Each structure stands twice: as C-alpha cells, then as structure tokens.
Amino acid sequence: MKNILASLFAAVLCLSLLAGCSSKKPIIGKWQGDQGQLEFTEDGKLLMTMGGVSINATYTLPDDGHFTMNMDLGGMKKSETVAYTVSGDSLTTEDNGKKETLKRVK
C-alpha cells in the first residue's frame, strides 16, 4: 500500500511540475476592447480588428512586458513595440502614453 501511495504521489508531483513549465504565454488568445479586438496566436501571428477593418501582422515578445508588432500596410512595412500587462482576464496595453484595457474572449 505504501508503494502505491508513493507512486501516486510521485505521479501527481510530476504532472504538477509539467503544468508549471507550460510554454504558453499569458498574452495568447483573443482580447476585446472598446477600440476593437486583438488575437495573439501561439505561432506568432496577430490579427487586429478595428472598426470593421482587419489587419494581419506578426508579433514577437522581446521581454515579459512588451510585444513588437510587424505589419505590412499596402507595401509599407511598420514595426511598433507596445508595453502590456496581463492580470487574470484583462490585458492592458500602453502605446505612446495611451492605455487601453481589453478583456479575454472566452
């Protein structure tokens, strides 16, 4: 019986450690705000929808508090780095002194 309990405890411990090592970033997912919607995918794609206009972009995470968007707007390439924080189901972005809070779409 002790061996079974010890094995079960070891299995639960391993699973909890694996769950803590998840590579998923908290920014991944769909976010809705007053100005529109952002969707960050695991493979580095970003879809922005604002006022009925959708823009496909890519993004990188240079650190835990910023994302860099890379867009091609009709042949004109643009790159912009935005500060962000994620707290629960809220994503707050700050760009050029303007803050916006978006809610996670479930």
85 exposed, middle or buried (CB, 10 Å; 0-12, 13-18, 19+)? middle
User: What confidence score (pLDDT) does residue 15 get?
Assistant: 35
17 is a domain residue: no
CA angle 36, 64, 66 (to 5 degrees): 45
Q: Which domain holds residue 53?
A: 24-104
CATH of the domain at 94: 2.40.128.490
pTM score of the predicted model:
0.75
84 is a domain residue: yes
38 is a domain residue: yes
Q: State the DSSP string of 55-81.
A: EEEEEEEEETTEEEEEEEETTEEEEEE
Question: Total structural domains in the chain?
Answer: 1
15 is a domain residue: no
In angstroms, rounded to a whole number, what is the distance separating the alpha carbons of residues 27 and 39?
Answer: 9
98 is a domain residue: yes
Structure tokens at 39: 């969707």
2 is a domain residue: no
Q: Tens of pLDDT along 38-89? A: 999 999 999 999 999 999 999 999 999 999 999 998 899 999 999 999 999 9
